[in-house]
Structure 1
Amino acid sequence: MKINMSMEKINNYLLNLCFFLIMLSISITLIDVKIARVSFFVACYISVFGVLIDKKNYKKFVKILPIPLLILGLSKIIWFYYFYNNAPDINLNTNYIQAGKRIIFCSIIIAYLLANLRNTNLNKKIIVFSVILSFIFSTIFAIYQIKIGLPRVELNTQATGAAYMYSCITLLLISYCLISAKKTISYIILSIIFLISFFIIIQTGTRTAIIFHPILFLILVFYASGRKVRLILSLSSIMITIAVGLFFKTEIIEKINTTNNEIAIYENSRGNEGSSLGARFSMWNAGMYSFYQSPMGASLEQRYSQMKSYTEKENKDRAALIFANIHLHNEIVDTLSLQGILGAIIVIFFYISMLVKSFREKNPMLLSVILCLIAYGLTEVIFVSREMSILFSLMILSALLLNRKEKIEE
């Protein structure tokens, strides 16, 4: 009896410590990457240990385990060992195997907390508070970077990743506000959050986020609010977008001109001269060529060789080779070129399953995260990035915890 009581105390201690570390990681992930990362991985090991010693909850844990996320992580590890198992200089620190491990750890944490964390108002308030802190801290840090004259807001990573992660955090917070708001002041605050976030995202100079952030906001407004509120928020968001556009007219025109110039450079040089947008076009073309050569997958070295052969044979898209050993700035193209058709099917299965889950469970928070993953995955490989894979996984966890429908314990 005493042993059982002691084990129960240990389980509760591990659970609370894991929950605290996850909330800490969410709160500071964009201002102190190192502490956020350490907190996340310590929470990972705690959750694994917690699962192993809590034998009575094995069935519940397995039932809750997010299979699509787990399969996504496993696919990257299986790909790595299939192509590199007999390699003489195997590098276990490659981005792809580490990405697979992080995703698997995230699936374990999600199942561990969903299976054991009580569905209380206090716990939900702690999660919301952590997301709010993340938004406030990153916004203040971004304003500081603007004030000291950085050309692009980077937060504590690089500008592109900062824009995508900041957008995801903001949209999850807005989604929660949409289903929780009961007074007019709540909708005013919600509009202010969108205004601030759009301003910060413009300061990152990330075109994909500048385009998709207001679009995703409108989608969430239409999905999560009533007809009257939907009309008011839609009109206000359109007005805010236009107002911000007019305020940053010079910067936006400059971005449009830069985009046109980069397209012209790409067309005139046949993709042999590098530019931000042109290099992406080159990578996607060369990546698809590599996929056609190896539809069931290839190693990084094989992909590079195939892409190089393509650029020499066609005398085009040489700019793709700059990033060929990193990633191809598109989740699907990158996966096709390395993991082949099966890998791409797994990614698409993950997207669809999360979309279906968000609609079936009426979870706008989860919808906000998966829409960000899909939209920003068009020009980035989210899960290869250590910071982005952790942040987006934590946002999935937050969305699931906030939307639990079972009876709330007081």
Structure 2
Amino acid sequence: MFYNLKNNSLYISMLLVLSLLLITNNFSVGVIAITIILSLISIFKNGVTKLNSFDKLIICIFFSYFLGAIPVAIADGSTLRYFQGGARLLLCLPIYLFIRNHTEISISKAIKAMQIGSIIGSTGAFLFAVYQYFILGMPRVDGYLFSINYGYLACSLMFINVSLSYKSNMKLLLYFAATAALISTVLTFTRGAILAIPLLLCFAAILNFKYISLKKFLLLLISFVLISITVYYTSSAVQQRTDFTINEVSYIINGHVAESSSTGARLQLWVAASYAFKNAPITGLPYSEREKLNQQLFENDVVSDWVATVARGHAHSQYFEMLASNGIWGIISIIFIFFIPLYIFTKHYLNNDSIIGFTAALFVAGFMIYGLTEVPLQANLIGSYYGFMLAVFFAIVHQERYPNVEKKS
């Protein structure tokens, strides 16, 4: 009975994590925590079946971010903050092991749960966004999060809807939900999320090059451009945000980086992070040392005075942050948490025409783009969500690759 309860709870947790992602204050994290506990209980009671090479690679993926932070934490000797991102990924490993080793998971039920959850979550996020933007008059939608994080998660939901619509009998609902999530993303005016949309659409087209003719691709591209132009000329807020970005790029091109208050500021933080990596390429540079280094860089006219005031020398990029804080171990961790999963999912889709492979590839690619201008995996909700979805995706891919592997019950 307990086993059956946990078995069904997996589908419920998939549905709830996506449903509650943007319309509640961290309730998705609570669902993930309960799922982790149930997974650990099952593993403790039933043990773990023999692991194959695929399992061992997945375990390395979930451990990599955490292990990569150990050298700098030892060098610092005073904070556990370095483990924030890695710990959330590592805690989701039992979910993978439980599904992989103890459950003959129904892939169709899992997909259905994710479809319903994504539809509910996207629709709820849209209503939340409309309420905040049009009724409360907020300049940028943020829900219970920062507008940047809300934008990333809304964009993620959009592409889960898009990818899960493939061969689905809920296609119209998923298209509606994808549109709702798209509008929610735009209303956050998060450029990192908005710019990710055309990039992910192009990636999706590349993955489906066998099914999309050049004529159809050009038609989609022209439609996207026309819609973008229409939105620009009909929305003063979009127009202001776009013009602001164009002005920033102009400042940077003309060598006035410090006058670019957003994009230029990030570029300077990336420069500072690069210097941090040069100073400590093996262990990474502790936060206190990064703050001192940024002050020195300001005094040497390498960066502006604002960079010297940024707490912990925060790099505003998943890549540069891990480069500066974790050194060479950060590079290894980046490869394991982004590039290897993307390769696994992309290959699985291309070889097996797997809807989960397609969905997972777009999911990871999205976070690779979001990570260019922010450090999303350090955030509690986003880091937990990324770890949970990776665990689910990897477990289903394992089921599809090794359908006859003996399971424990």
Taking structure 2 as the reference length, the TM-score comes to 0.84
1:291 aligns with 2:277: yes
More moved, 248-257 vs 61-70: 61-70
Distance 1:266 1:129 in 2: 44
1:109 aligns with 2:61: no
- What's the secondary structure of 1:248's corresponding residue? helix
Equivalence for 1:5: none
Amino acid of the residue matched to residue 163 of structure 1? G
Amino acid of the residue matched to residue 393 of structure 1? G
Asked if the contact 2:122–2:177 (Cα under 8 Å) also holds between the matched residues in 1, the reply is: no
Structure 1 position 268, deviation (Å): 8.8
Distance 2:367 2:92 in 1: 16
Judging changes above 3 Å, is the alpha-carbon distance between structure 1 residues 245 and 389 closer, same or farther for their aligned structure 2 residues? farther
Structure 1 position 241, deviation (Å): 4.4
Q: What are the superposed Cα offsets for residues 88-138 of structure 1, whole Å, 9 maximum, x if unpaired?
A: xx344x2x3232211101222122223333232334322322222222221
Structure 1 position 206, deviation (Å): 1.0
Equivalence for 1:174: 162
Q: What are the superposed Cα offsets for residues 157-203 of structure 1, whole Å, 9 maximum, x if unpaired?
A: 1111111111112112211213x248xx94x6665555443332221
Distance 1:382 1:114 in 2: 27
Aligned length: 389
Judging changes above 3 Å, is the alpha-carbon distance between structure 1 residues 401 and 299 closer, same or farther for their aligned structure 2 residues? same
Structure 1 position 378, deviation (Å): 0.6
Distance 2:298 2:396 in 1: 49
Asked if the contact 1:208–1:376 (Cα under 8 Å) also holds between the matched residues in 2, the reply is: yes
Q: What percent identity do the matched residue pairs reach?
A: 20
2:41 to 49, 57, 65: 49
Q: What are the superposed Cα offsets for residues 241-272 of structure 1, whole Å, 9 maximum, x if unpaired?
A: 42243133244432232124445667899655
Q: What are the superposed Cα offsets for residues 9-48 of structure 1, whole Å, 9 maximum, x if unpaired?
A: 4333344445534532221011113322222222222222
1:158 aligns with 2:142: no
More moved, 274-283 vs 12-21: 12-21
Amino acid of the residue matched to residue 368 of structure 1? L
Structure 1 position 237, deviation (Å): 5.7
Structure 1 position 352, deviation (Å): 2.2
Distance 2:68 2:268 in 1: 24
Distance 1:332 1:317 in 2: 21
2:55 to 52, 64, 70: 64
Equivalence for 2:371: 377
Equivalence for 1:235: 219
More moved, 325-334 vs 287-296: 325-334
Distance 1:25 1:108 in 2: 17
Structure 1 position 385, deviation (Å): 1.1
Structure 1 position 150, deviation (Å): 1.3
Distance 1:73 1:366 in 2: 19
1:248 aligns with 2:239: no
Equivalence for 2:26: 34
Amino acid of the residue matched to residue 275 of structure 1? S
- Root-mean-square deviation (CA), in Å? 3.0
- What's the secondary structure of 1:378's corresponding residue? coil
Distance 1:248 1:346 in 2: 39
- What's the secondary structure of 2:306's corresponding residue? helix
Alignment of 1:260-279 (within 5 A): 260-263=246-249, 275-279=261-265
- For structure 1, the 5+ residue unaligned runs are 1-8
Asked if the contact 2:99–2:105 (Cα under 8 Å) also holds between the matched residues in 1, the reply is: no
Structure 1 position 312, deviation (Å): 1.3
1:10 aligns with 2:2: yes
Structure 1 position 372, deviation (Å): 0.7
1:78 to 70, 74, 78: 70
Judging changes above 3 Å, is the alpha-carbon distance between structure 1 residues 315 and 364 closer, same or farther for their aligned structure 2 residues? closer
Asked if the contact 2:118–2:177 (Cα under 8 Å) also holds between the matched residues in 1, the reply is: no
Amino acid of the residue matched to residue 116 of structure 2? F
Q: Which has the higher contact order (CA 8 A, sep 6+)?
A: 2
Distance 2:59 2:218 in 1: 35
2:204 to 220, 243, 261: 220
Taking structure 1 as the reference length, the TM-score comes to 0.83
Judging changes above 3 Å, is the alpha-carbon distance between structure 1 residues 387 and 277 closer, same or farther for their aligned structure 2 residues? same
Distance 1:62 1:16 in 2: 28
Equivalence for 1:309: 296
Amino acid of the residue matched to residue 159 of structure 2? L
Equivalence for 2:317: 330
